Amino acid sequence: MELKASEVAYVVGGDFLGEDKYISGFCINSKEIREGQVFVAIKGQKHDGHDFLKEAFQKGAVGTLVEKNVHVPNGKFAIRVKSSLEALRNLASWKRKRFKGKVVGIAGSAGKTTTKEMTAFLLSKVGRVCKTPRNFNSQITVPLSLCNFSTEADFWVVEMGASQKGDVKRLVEVVKPQVRAITAIGEEHLETFGCLDDVVLGNGEILYDMKEDEFGIYPDYVAHCYSCDRYITFGERSRFRAEEVKLDHTGVHFRVDGVHIFVPIPSLAVVENALCSLAILEALGIDWKVLCKELREFHPVEGRFKVIKRNNITIIDDTYNANPPSMKKALQTLSHFGGIKVAVLGDMLELGKNSELYHREIGRFCVEMGMDYSIFYGEHMRHAYEECRSLGGNCFYFTKKGDVMAFLGNLLKDREEKTLLFKGSRGMRMEEFIEGLTRVL
């Protein structure tokens, strides 16, 4: 029998959501499936989940949600629906209705994952927390995460990504957070958003359909762009602002409302993440001034300002992703380090028709921040190189990873103290430089 996607949550009821102990959760990746999970076969742009059903069953899936007739081994089951994704959304909505705790939603152009991890870390000191894993912030992975969350938790912390207008609104319809935060606003995914105004509007969709007792959290520099009855801002003109900021290789010290805070991540961006997290705690009615001391035990997310020490060399792994605001914040942070400062920067992708302009701004910013060496890699970074060179910066341009590695090998031969920042968009795979260096240093 084929079930309509709108009926699935009702028909399968609790059996799919953990009340039947035989079913332990949901998965969309056949390589990651665990014993007892239900495999959700979703057809994407590159792969069709239906092609991996056999592997999923072999690895322990007890059942599957599918959009077509499939072969099912003995002792397993399949439920056919019109749309696997819509069925997953409906299951997530059904799960959300059963949850009586507090839900935090986090959107923004940069810092979403670190803010999500930091907020969940702090909330774990006062209750049980479920959070979206890794960077699960898409139209598929957010509903998937909710389906796997425990309704016995006290808090759910959900990261929400967007590449175009409407994305966040569609996630909010399922997540229905009581506290809705925007971490930062800047140029991102302009190929699909179109312009910065649409980035502002798109991330602002997290405030969609707010109830009177719900809170909005956002940077003070965009406060004039949004309107909600109950909100808290953070930033230079707010109560939640960072003062007396001091940064070294061990981390960053600062004060908020007179309270000293230390985070063992040497990043100015993490200061903004902390301000947003503390504002979220305030909105939840939690005494952040007591909890903030716990941040000295917080550790960076992989690929987000992770520091690696090798004798006289400090490597900053900020390779996960990049856009203009996050790139500038990373360079600003690097400028605070002693010794020789080396920026190794890859293309910022998906910036649309003004990509050249944004890359030239980065080249100019390298000079302003006093980089001793600016190494640009990738087709778009050629524009940053040209701008940097025209302003007298000590800069180099490469199109091949091997050439970059050869240059770095020569640069690191002496015993001078050096700090190397690696940053670029996900598609540039900048982590490969770090993997290469750590093997030889």
**Domain coordinates of the chain in residue numbers?**
2-83, 99-297, 306-440
Among positive and negative, which fits the CA dihedral 181, 185, 189, 190? Answer: positive
pLDDT score of 183 more than 80 = yes
Provide, rounded to the nearest whole percent, the portion of the chain with pLDDT above 70: 95
CA distance 38 to 84: 12
Q: Answer whether 159's CB lies under 8 Å from 137's CB.
A: yes
pLDDT for residue 6:
40
Q: DSSP strand E in 191-336: where?
A: 215-219, 231-234, 243-248, 251-256, 259-263, 306-310, 313-317
Rounded CA separation 236/267 (Å): 17
Q: Which CATH architecture has domain 2-83?
A: 3-Layer(aba) Sandwich (3.40)
State how far the alpha carbon of 347 is from the alpha carbons of 93, 113, 338, 361, 375, in Å: 38, 21, 26, 13, 11
Distance CA 323, CA 162 (A): 14
CATH placement of domain 306-440? 3.90.190.20
pLDDT at 267 over 80: yes
pLDDT of 2 strictly over 80: no
**Of the listed ranges 9-13, 180-184, 256-260, 363-367, the one predicted with least confidence:** 9-13
Looking at domain 99-297, does it have CATH number 3.40.1190.10? yes
What is the spatial distance between Cα 183 and Cα 364, in angstroms, rounded to a whole number?
25
Which residue's structure tokens are 């409906």?
90
Which pLDDT belongs to residue 71?
A: 86
Find the mean pLDDT for residues 369-391.
98
User: Helix (H, G, I), strand (E, B), or coil: what is residue 303?
Assistant: coil
Grade residue 431 by pLDDT with cuts at 50, 70 and 90: very high
Mean pLDDT score, 332-344:
95
Quote the pLDDT of residue 304: 84
Residues 6+ apart with CB under 8 A from 77: 62, 63, 64
Average pLDDT for 155-164? 94
HEC-encoded secondary structure of 9-45: HHHHHHHHHCCCCCCCEEECCCCCCCCCEEEECCECC
pLDDT at 11 (0 to 100): 32
Percent of the chain with pLDDT strictly greater than 90: 76
Residue 277 pLDDT level (bands cut at 50, 70, 90) = very high
Please, what is the average pLDDT of the chain?
A: 91
| Residue pointed to by tokens 């912390």 | 157
pLDDT-based confidence at residue 300 (cuts at 50, 70, 90) = confident
pLDDT band at 112 (very low <50, low <70, confident <90, very high): very high
Q: Which pLDDT score, from 0 to 100, does residue 190 have?
A: 74
Q: Identify which has the larger pLDDT, 362 or 196.
A: 362
H helical segments located in 296-380: 324-334, 355-368
For the residues 6-28, what does the mean pLDDT come to?
50
Cβ pair 396, 376 in contact under 8 A: yes
Contact 368, 391 (CB under 8 A): no
Dihedral of CA atoms 429, 434, 440, 441 in degrees, nearest 10, equals 170
